[in-house]
Structure 1
Amino acid sequence: MLLNRLVDSVITVILVVTLVFVAMRILPGDPAVAALGDSATAEQLASFRERMGLNVPLWHQYLDFLVNIVTLNFGTSMITGENISAMLLANLPYTVELTVAAMIIGMIIGVPIGVLSAVKRGSFPDYIARIIALAGFCIPDFFLGALILIVFGLKLDLFPVTGGGTDFPSRMQHLVLPAMTLGLVMAAFTSRLTRSALLEVLKRDYIRTARAKGVTERWVIYKHALRNALIPVVTGFGIYILTMLSGSIAIELIFARPGVGSVLINGINSRDYPMVQAGLLVFALFVVVVNIAMDLLYVLIDPRLRRAAR
C-alpha cells in the first residue's frame, strides 16, 4: 500500500511540475522585460534570454527543468541573481515550524473541545463550544492574524510582531502569534469534526455493549469511541493542512515573516520563473509528504489497516 502511494505521489509531483512550467510560459508578457525593465536594449534582452535559457525550445527548457529538479538545482533568480536553492533552504524551516506549531495548537485545543461537546451534547458547554467553532470558521485567518497582532503585539507588547528571529529563543517568540492565528482556526475545524465523528461512533452497538458490561464512561469514551472517531478526524485534518498552506502565506505576509510563501509571492510579483517554479514545487512536495503521513497515521490508528497492509 505504501509503495502504491509513493508511485502515485511521484506521478502527482510530475503533473504539478508540468502544469506550473506550462502555465508560467503561456502567461502574457516577456520575463526578460520584467527583469531588466522597459529601458533595456535589444542586445541586453537577448543576452538575458540566452543566459537564463529562454531562447531554446520549450521542450528543451522542460527537460532542463526536470534535470535541475532531480539534482536539486533550481538555478538563480532572474531578478536578484541569488541561488534559489539556498534561498529556499534558508526560508523553509520558518514555514515548517509555523505549520507544525499550528497543527499542535489545533489538535491540543480542538480535540478536547470536540470530545467535551460530544459528551455533553445539548448542554451549555456544547452550545458554547459550537458557537466558538462557528466563529472560528467565519473569521478569515488574515483578519484574525491582524487582530492578534494588534492586541498581543502592539497593545500588550507581549510578543514581537514582525520577523522570524535568529536564535532558538527569539524564533520561538516570533512564532507564537502566527502559530496562534493558524492554530485557532484549525482548532475550530478540528473541534467540529471531532464532535460529529464521536457522536456517530457513540451510536454504535459495541459502545452500548461496553456500557452494558459496566465499563466506566471515561474508558468507553477514550479507549473505544475516541480511537475509532479519530480516523475521520485524521482524514479531515490532513485535508485541512493542505488548505492551510494558503493561510500560511497570508500569515507570513501579515507578520512580515520569512518563509517559502514570502519567497513565492515575491517571485510572482516580479514574474521570476525559476523562483515561482521552485516555490510551487516545494509546496507540492509538502502536500505529498502530508498525504503519506496521513496514510501512516491511518495504519497506526486502525488495526484493520495494519492487517490489510501485511
Structure 2
Amino acid sequence: MLFNRVVDSAITIIMVVSLVFVAMRILPGDPAVAALGEYATPEQLAAFRARMGLDAPLWLQYLTFLRDIVTLNFGTSMITGESIAAMLLANLPYTVELTVAAMLVGMIIGVPMGVLSATRRGSAADYSARVIALAGFCVPDFFLGALILIIFGLKLDLFPVMGGGVGFADRMEHLVLPALTLGLVMAAFTSRLTRSALLEVLRRDYIRTARAKGVDEHWVIYKHALRNALIPVVTGFGIYILTMLSGSIAIELIFARPGVGSVLINGINSRDYPMVQAGLLVFALFVVLVNIAMDLIYVLIDPRLRRVSK
C-alpha cells in the first residue's frame, strides 16, 4: 500500500510541475523584459535568454526542468540572482508554523463546538454554534484577517501586525493573529463536519446498546461515538488543509509575513520562471505529505483499517 501511495504521489507531482511548466510559458509577457526592464537592448535581452536557457527548444527546456527537479537543483532567481533553494528554506518554516498553528486552533475550537452542538441538538447552544459556524463560512479569510489586524493589532495594540519576528518568543507573538485568522475559518468548517458525523454515529445500534447497558454518557460520546465520527472529520480536515494553502498566501500578504506564498506571488509578478516552479513544487509536496499523513491518522483512529491496508 505504501509503495502504491509513493508511486501515485510521484505521478501527481510530475503532472503538477508539467502543468506549471506549460502555464508559465504560454502566459503573455517576456521574463527577459521583466528582469532587465523595458529599455534593455535586444543584445542584452538575447544574452539574458541564452544565460537562462530560454532560447532553447521547449522540449529541451522541459527535460532540463525535470532533471533539475530530480537533482533538487532549483537554480537562481532570474530577477535577484539569489539561490532559490536558500530563499525557500528561509521562508518555508514561516509557512509551516502558520499552517500547523491554524490547524491546532481549528481543532481546539471546532471539534468541541461540534460535539456540543451535536449532543445538545435543538438547544440554544446548538443554534449558537451553528450560527457561528455559518458566519465563519460566509466571511472570506482575507476580510477576517484585515478585521482582526485592525481590532487586535491597530486598535487594541495587543499583537504585532507585520513581519514574522526574530527569535522564538517574537515569532510566536507575530504568529498569533495570522494563525487565529486561518484557525477560526477552519474551526467553522470543523464544527459543522463534527456535528454531522457525530449525529450520524449517535443513531447507530451499538450506541443505543451502550446506553441501554447503563454506560456513562460521557464515555459513550467520547470513547465510542466521537472516535468513529473522527474518521470523516479527518477526511474533510485533510481536504480543507489543502484549500487552506491559498488562504495562507492571502494571510501572508495581509500581515506582510514571510513565507513560501509571498515568495511565490513575487515570482509570479516578476515572471520569475524558476521561482514560481520551485514554489509550486513545494506546495505540491505539501499536498502529497498531507494525503499520506491522513492515511496514517485513519489507521491510528480505527485499528480495523490496519487489516484492510495489509
Is the TM value for this pair above 0.5? Answer: yes
Cα shift at 1:302: 1.3
Alignment of 1:218-237 (within 5 A): 218-237=218-237
Deviation beyond 2 Å, 4+ runs, structure 1: none
Cα shift at 1:101: 0.2
Q: 1:151 aligned to 2:151?
A: yes
Q: 1:23 aligned to 2:23?
A: yes
Distance 1:299 1:198 in 2: 19
Deviations 1:135-184 (A, max 9, x none): 10011101110111111111111110000011111000000000000000
Matched residue of 1:271: which SS? coil
Deviations 1:13-71 (A, max 9, x none): 00001010011111122211121112111110111001101111111111111111122
Alignment partner, residue 304 of structure 1: 304
Matched residue of 2:250: which SS? helix
**Residue type of the partner of 2:190?**
T
Alignment partner, residue 169 of structure 2: 169
Alignment partner, residue 6 of structure 2: 6
Alignment partner, residue 97 of structure 1: 97
**Residue type of the partner of 1:176?**
V
**Residue type of the partner of 2:63?**
L
Distance 1:73 1:168 in 2: 30
Distance 1:6 1:257 in 2: 33
Distance 2:213 2:265 in 1: 59
Alignment partner, residue 250 of structure 1: 250
Cα shift at 1:5: 1.2
Alignment of 1:28-177 (within 5 A): 28-177=28-177
Alignment of 1:273-292 (within 5 A): 273-292=273-292
Which region of structure 1 is more displaced relative to structure 2, 284-293 or 28-37? 28-37
**Residue type of the partner of 2:107?**
M
Q: State the Cα RMSD in Å.
A: 0.7
Which region of structure 1 is more displaced relative to structure 2, 37-46 or 243-252? 37-46
**Residue type of the partner of 1:254?**
I
Instruction: Please give the TM-score of this superposition, normalised by the length of structure 1.
Output: 0.99
Distance 1:140 1:42 in 2: 45
Deviations 1:185-243 (A, max 9, x none): 00000000000000000000110011111111001000100000000000000000000
Distance 1:290 1:306 in 2: 19
Cα shift at 1:2: 2.0
Aligned residues: 310
Alignment partner, residue 210 of structure 1: 210
**Which runs of 5 or more residues in structure 2 are unaligned?**
none
Matched residue of 2:135: which SS? helix
| Percentage of matched positions with identical amino acids | 85
Distance 1:308 1:27 in 2: 46
**Which runs of 5 or more residues in structure 1 are unaligned?**
none
Alignment partner, residue 195 of structure 1: 195
Distance 1:181 1:208 in 2: 39
Distance 1:155 1:42 in 2: 53
